[in-house]
């Protein structure tokens, strides 16, 4: 293993925008190289920013620092992004929906949704029975897929047989099973419905139920599909090594000037305008 003090992340990425296997094996031991391979690379090549990975928003907090200290750097990274479930995490972040959907699915897979069953497991409440059907423990899978409260969502979808036949021991197990049965579009649509079912359940819990469950869930589906259409149109992957502009500036002819203008709406409600004469 060799190491260079001035080595940068860009030195570990090949011309296709993928991890460079030769560079990884040259500079890192196998355990570290495996963890690096599990880090998804953006195809859009955004500007580099400082990001504290143990926090969901990328901003350091004493709480996230405490837990990283308790778990250790390697175990903390594996629990969130890699380890035995690396394929699941990559599938979640590559679903193609809005970031809020990815975050919802990730929280569901890690057991971070506050159902009564999860609250009982954490000794916060004593009774984990589902308050909507009293048919047993309110697990995440029961709440989103099996409870009579959300039954109509799945009965009116083409995915009823999938969610009924899939494993029920955990959301992660069911997600992995659905991933093996559905194509990318079908999996995305099921997760959109699951997101809507969870949101409807929360509206009932907080005594503000939706007036029409079908309209509410359809809104989540439309949000996810519109986002995917927008992302496909805007975030097309440019060739690695440079970003190609959608428009190019053409200088004016001899003896002429060109005026370029732009307008922005600022947060406080005021409007700003700029102009450049060339």
- Region 11-20: mean pLDDT is 87
pLDDT at 111 over 90: no
Measure the CA–CA gap between 198 and 140, rounded to whole angstroms: 9
Query: Residue 80 to residues 50, 56, 89, 176: CA-CA distances in angstroms?
Result: 19, 10, 8, 16
Measure the CA–CA gap between 16 and 11, rounded to whole angstroms: 13
- Token pair of 135 as six digits: 């048919």
- Token pair of 35 as six digits: 């963890």
> pTM (2 decimals)?
0.58
- Token pair of 215 as six digits: 């309209």
Split at pLDDT 50, 70, 90, the class of 255 is confident
Of 176, 224, 216, 221, the residue nearest 199 (C-alpha): 216
The sign of the torsion formed by the CA atoms of 71, 77, 79, 82 equals negative
Query: Residue 236 to residues 65, 194, 241, 259, 261: CA-CA distances in angstroms?
Result: 36, 28, 14, 30, 26
Whether the CB-CB separation of 201 and 144 falls below 8 Å is answered with yes
Which residues are within 8 A (CB) of 190 and not within 5 positions of it... i.e. 6 or more apart? 159, 162, 163, 178, 182
Contacts by 47-55, CB closer than 8 A, 24 or more apart = 53/77, 53/80, 53/81, 54/80
Within the chain, strands assigned E span 259-265, 271-277
pLDDT tens digits, 114-148: 899 988 888 888 899 999 999 889 999 999 999 99
Measure the CA–CA gap between 36 and 46, rounded to whole angstroms: 19
Of 184, 207, 215, 202, the residue nearest 144 (C-alpha): 202
Q: If you compute the radius of gyration of the chain from its CA atoms, what whole number of angstroms results?
A: 24
pLDDT tens digits, 168-208: 889 999 999 999 999 999 999 999 999 999 999 999 998 99
Least confident of 46-60, 130-144, 183-197, 215-229: 46-60
- Token pair of 151 as six digits: 């039954």
Of 208, 216, 167, 209, the residue nearest 192 (C-alpha): 216
- Region 53-59: mean pLDDT is 72
Note the pLDDT of residue 246.
53
Measure the CA–CA gap between 117 and 143, rounded to whole angstroms: 10
Least confident of 67-71, 75-79, 134-138, 258-262: 75-79
Of 222, 218, 185, 216, the residue nearest 202 (C-alpha): 216
∠ at Cα 59 (58, 61), nearest 5°?
130
Measure the CA–CA gap between 126 and 75, rounded to whole angstroms: 31
Least confident of 96-105, 129-138, 234-243: 234-243
* Helix (H), strand (E) at residue 185: helix 184-205
């Amino acid at each position: 293993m060799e190491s260079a003090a001035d080595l940068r992340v860009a030195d570990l990425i090949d011309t296709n925008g993928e991890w460079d296997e030769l560079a990884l094996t040259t500079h890192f031991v196998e355990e570290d190289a495996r963890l690096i391979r599990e880090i998804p690379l953006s195809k859009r090549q955004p500007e580099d920013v400082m990001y504290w990975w143990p926090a969901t928003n990328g901003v350091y907090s004493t709480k996230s620092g405490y837990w990283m200290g308790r778990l250790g750097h390697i175990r903390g990274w594996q629990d969130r992004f890699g380890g035995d479930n690396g394929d699941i995490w990559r599938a979640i972040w590559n679903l193609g929906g809005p970031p809020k959907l990815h975050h919802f699915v990730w929280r569901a897979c890690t057991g971070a949704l506050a159902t009564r069953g999860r609250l009982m497991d954490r000794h916060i409440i004593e009774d984990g029975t589902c308050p909507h059907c009293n048919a047993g423990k309110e697990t995440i899978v029961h709440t989103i897929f099996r409870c009579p409260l959300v039954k109509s969502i799945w009965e009116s979808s083409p995915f009823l047989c999938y969610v009924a036949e899939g494993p029920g021991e955990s959301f992660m197990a069911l997600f992995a099973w659905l991933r093996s049965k559905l194509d990318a579009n079908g999996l995305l649509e099921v997760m959109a419905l699951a997101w809507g079912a969870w949101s409807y359940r929360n509206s009932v819990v907080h005594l503000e139920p939706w007036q029409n469950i079908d309209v509410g869930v359809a809104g989540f589906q439309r949000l996810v599909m519109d986002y995917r259409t927008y992302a496909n149109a805007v975030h097309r992957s440019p060739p690695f090594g440079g970003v190609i502009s959608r428009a190019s500036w053409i200088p004016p002819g001899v003896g002429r000037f060109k005026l370029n203008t732009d307008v922005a709406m600022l947060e406080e409600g005021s409007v700003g305008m700029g102009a450049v004469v060339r």
